[in-house]
């Protein structure tokens, strides 16, 4: 089993589905190139309307062009909104009162005052971070690690020794999670408790380290032997079963997202903070 095969088999089941949705069929670099400039420009944005509009655009793209799994739905419907709300409140509490002192107070506790201007500053910051994450999800939810490695090797001449080695290393993570679940089950069957409370939990987890390390070493040796048996790294280049090529759809998607970004940034939305 080569590094490529080992990494591919270790991918989540969602990464091995047929590419039936629009975003899944696009070139990885097209998705990165379409969203990266917008993410960089959002760093300088200080209003509420621009990140809010881009957040809506990112959600629309993901919902229309990506396969939404249960975890993806939780991420979009719960995790990201909670993150935006928590970030907004946090930055509102940290806002400099001297910069927003001319706005009316919303909350007053003794000498401490939370003004409407501070809430607007926090909301603008939270929406900005939320829009950045949502734009990043366009690539993250629809692109496998193997596709990113292939794009790097085929478009940027990334050495395949580096690409597939990194991909095989990432494939160790689900392997370790599976091995850890087996080790925990074995310890429970043997009645290994370690005590109660936080200290007992720590002792139990520490008891998992040695068998997990032994399993990791055995797995690494098997992968290394398989790579050596297939002469991995013996030649400066290698052939690929699948070539990632830019198509008219990739160009249209990139141009469309960049055009939408330009329209949002030039719209002159009215509720700017300064």
User: Residue 7: its pLDDT value, please?
Assistant: 44
Q: For 246, phi and psi rounded to 5 degrees? A: -70, 135
Query: Using 50, 70 and 90 to split pLDDT, how confident is the model at 9?
Result: very low
Q: Which two tokens stand for residue 107?
A: 């909350």
Which one is predicted more confidently, 48 or 21?
48
**CA pair distance 146, 244, nearest whole angstrom:** 11
User: Residue 19: its pLDDT value, please?
Assistant: 63
**CA pair distance 49, 55, nearest whole angstrom:** 10
Which one is predicted more confidently, 2 or 57?
57
> 79 near 122, Cβ under 8 Å?
no
For residue 37, give every residue at least 6 positions away whose Cβ sits within 8 Å of its Cβ, in sequence order, or none: 258, 261
Mean pLDDT of 4-26: 58
pLDDT digits (tens, 9 = 90+) for 128-182: 999 999 999 999 999 888 888 888 888 888 888 888 888 888 788 888 888 888 8
pLDDT digits (tens, 9 = 90+) for 55-106: 999 999 999 988 888 988 999 999 999 999 999 999 888 877 766 666 667 6
Share of the chain above pLDDT 90, in %: 29
Mean pLDDT of 261-266: 89
Half-sphere exposure of 41 (CA within 13 A, CB side): 16
Alpha helices in 190-231 (DSSP H): 197-229
Query: Strand ranges (DSSP E) for the chain?
Result: 105-109, 112-115
Which of these ranges, 23-32, 37-46, 196-205, has the smallest mean pLDDT? Answer: 196-205
Mean residue pLDDT across the chain:
82
User: Residue 33: its pLDDT value, please?
Assistant: 93
CA 24 from centroid of its chain's CA atoms: 15
Closest CA to 242 of 140, 136, 144, 171: 144
Query: Using 50, 70 and 90 to split pLDDT, how confident is the model at 195?
Result: low
CA 242 from centroid of its chain's CA atoms: 25
Q: Which two tokens stand for residue 113?
A: 């005052």
Name the residue ranges covered by the structural domains of the chain: 18-149+244-265
Q: Which two tokens stand for residue 187?
A: 């310890």
User: Residue 153: its pLDDT value, please?
Assistant: 86
**CA pair distance 256, 263, nearest whole angstrom:** 11
Which one is predicted more confidently, 259 or 19?
259
**CB burial class (10 A; 0-12, 13-18, 19+) of residue 45?**
buried
Query: Using 50, 70 and 90 to split pLDDT, how confident is the model at 11?
Result: very low
Query: Using 50, 70 and 90 to split pLDDT, how confident is the model at 271?
Result: very low
Mean pLDDT of 241-269: 87
| pTM reported for the whole predicted model | 0.74
**CB burial class (10 A; 0-12, 13-18, 19+) of residue 264?**
buried
User: Residue 190: its pLDDT value, please?
Assistant: 79
CA 192 from centroid of its chain's CA atoms: 37
User: Residue 274: its pLDDT value, please?
Assistant: 45
Inform me whether the pLDDT recorded for 242 exceeds 60: yes
**CA pair distance 205, 217, nearest whole angstrom:** 19
């Amino acid at each position: 089993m080569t590094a490529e095969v080992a990494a591919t088999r270790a991918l989540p089941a969602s990464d091995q589905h047929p590419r039936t949705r629009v975003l899944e069929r696009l070139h990885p670099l097209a998705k990165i190139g379409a969203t990266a400039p917008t993410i960089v420009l959002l760093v300088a944005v200080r209003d509420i309307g621009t990140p809010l509009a881009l957040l809506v655009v990112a959600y629309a793209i993901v919902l229309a062009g990506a396969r939404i799994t249960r975890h993806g739905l939780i991420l979009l419907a719960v995790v990201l909104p909670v993150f935006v709300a928590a970030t907004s409140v946090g930055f509102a509490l940290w806002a400099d009162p001297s910069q927003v002192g001319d706005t009316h107070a919303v909350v007053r506790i003794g000498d401490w005052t939370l003004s409407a201007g501070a809430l607007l500053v926090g909301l603008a910051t939270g929406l900005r971070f939320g829009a950045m994450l949502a734009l990043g999800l366009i690539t993250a939810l629809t692109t496998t690690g193997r596709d990113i490695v292939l794009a790097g090797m085929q478009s940027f001449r990334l050495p395949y020794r580096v690409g597939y080695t990194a991909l095989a290393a990432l494939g160790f993570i689900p392997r370790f999670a599976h091995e850890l679940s087996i080790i925990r089950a074995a310890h429970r069957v043997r009645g290994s408790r370690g005590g109660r409370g936080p200290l007992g939990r720590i002792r139990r987890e520490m008891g998992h380290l040695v068998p997990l390390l032994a399993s990791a070493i055995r797995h690494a040796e098997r992968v290394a032997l398989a790579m050596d048996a297939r002469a991995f790294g013996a030649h400066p280049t290698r052939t690929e079963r699948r070539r990632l090529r830019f198509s008219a759809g990739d160009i249209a998607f990139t141009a469309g997202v960049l055009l939408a970004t330009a329209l949002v940034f030039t719209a002159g939305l009215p509720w700017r903070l300064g």
